[in-house]
Amino acid sequence: MGAFAKQHGGAEGQLAYIGQAGARIVLVGEDGAWGDLVAPTYAVAENAAAKSGITMHEEFDGDFALKVRTGPYEWSRMAGMQIGGPSNDR
């Protein structure tokens, strides 16, 4: 998480419980780049977030989501999930 923040001019994040799989940590860099990690438990994710020193959000709300910059790949994937959208297997 710290390496991501350093590479992208800083970062913010959000934790989400994903059931038995653990917790998803979504990171958004100051440059709009984003990525995610999965921790085996929510407690492990919380601990990693605390150690990283990055700002964490309770929710992935509109203001936080506006910081994400997407490219053609993401738009293709999102559109492919819609009826009549392009195929995801390009």
Per DSSP, the three-state class of 90 is coil
pLDDT digits (tens, 9 = 90+) for 18-58: 999 999 999 999 999 998 999 999 999 999 999 999 999 99
Write down the pLDDT at residue 65.
Answer: 85
CA distance 90 to 75: 13
Q: Do 51 and 65 contact (CB within 8 A), yes or no?
A: no
| Closest C-alpha among 61, 66, 58, 68 to residue 27 | 68
> What token pair was written down for 43?
């407690």
Q: What percent of the chain is predicted at pLDDT more than 90?
A: 61
